[in-house]
Amino acid sequence: MNKIEESFYAYGHEKIKSTHKTTLEITKEDYLTEKGDCIVAIKSEKSCADLNNDLKNAIRKDGSKVLIKLVVGNEIETVEAYGSKKLILNNSTSIVIRKSEYIDDRTLAIRSNKSANDLRRDFIDLLKDNNVKIKIVIEVLV
């Protein structure tokens, strides 16, 4: 099995709720509203459009396994999901991981084992700091 990996950084925010039951989102936006209950990181260095082409091509293989790791200090949350040949991966603002099979231009991966609501609450508490830097690692196994 081959592994393709890319990492980048984003930041926490005091309004992060992480209560959405079907999605998890990382955004380049520098603000967060009360409606953004799926958002776990803001001011991201990357969106779907910014990911390297090798990674995107690997994600676009049916059955590819996608691991998304959120790292804050020594704490790690890992989300397991799957790629699809139907993925568009060209949104210039966001990255969304979904439990469902719904695909739009923000969707990075589908059929995930976790949504924003499934992350550990002690981990979410770390994300509620405007100054916390979150390392995001995307690994694709093909």
- Structural domains in the chain? 3-141 (2.60.120.630)
The pLDDT of 15-36, averaged and rounded, is: 96
Cα distances from 19 to residues 24, 47, 76, 90, in angstroms, run 9, 21, 18, 26
The pTM assigned to this predicted structure is: 0.97
Whose tokens are 């719904």? That residue is 102
User: Where is 52: in which H helix or E strand?
Assistant: none
The 10s digit of each residue's pLDDT in 80-91 is: 999 999 999 999
Distance CA 83, CA 26 (A): 17
The pLDDT, as a whole number, for residue 142 is 86
Whose tokens are 């520098």? That residue is 30
pLDDT band at 50 (very low <50, low <70, confident <90, very high): very high
pLDDT band at 1 (very low <50, low <70, confident <90, very high): confident
118 contacts: CB under 8 Å, gap ≥ 6? none
The pLDDT of 45-58, averaged and rounded, is: 98
The 10s digit of each residue's pLDDT in 81-132 is: 999 999 999 999 999 999 999 999 999 999 999 999 999 999 999 999 999 9
Sign of the torsion angle spanned by Cα atoms 101, 92, 48, 71: negative
Distance CA 58, CA 2 (A): 9
